[in-house]
Each structure stands twice: as structure tokens, then as C-alpha cells.
Amino acid sequence: MIVYSPFWATLKKSNETTYTLIQKHKISSATIDKLRHNKGISTLTINDLCRILHCQVEDILLYVEDDNDQTL
């Protein structure tokens, strides 16, 4: 399961807020909601967040093994 807990820590350390992500950088409020609820977002959005926050992918997301993941 992909979780976005690193994103929230990275955002807190930055000069950005969810408000500036939405208003200044045009990240949709739906995307912020997906981040809050660990829902899927596109790699393009991850790329945008890394550029805005000047960070690496691992500063945005983390993979955590979960027994509820779909069977492969």
C-alpha cells in the first residue's frame, strides 16, 4: 500500500501549505484529498510535488506492505 505520510512531513518543513499548493501551484483540492486518504495519484502529480517542494519521491510517498492489497 502506498501511503503519503512522508508528504505531510515534507510539506510541514517547506514554505508551502495546502492553500499555496492549491492557489499558487494549481494542485487540485481533489488531489490534496487523495493524499489525505492514501488514494492513488499520478506520477505526473508526484513529479509536480517533488518540483514544488524541492524533494525526492521518497519524501512524498512510502510503500508499506499490507495484507489487504489485491492478490497478484
Continuous segment of H or E residues that includes residue 13: helix 5-13
Q: Where are the domains of the chain?
A: 2-63
pLDDT at 66: 84
pLDDT in tens, 46-58: 999 999 999 999 9
Three-class secondary structure of residue 3 per DSSP: strand
Continuous segment of H or E residues that includes residue 30: helix 29-36
CATH architecture group of domain 2-63? Orthogonal Bundle (1.10)
In this prediction the pTM is: 0.90
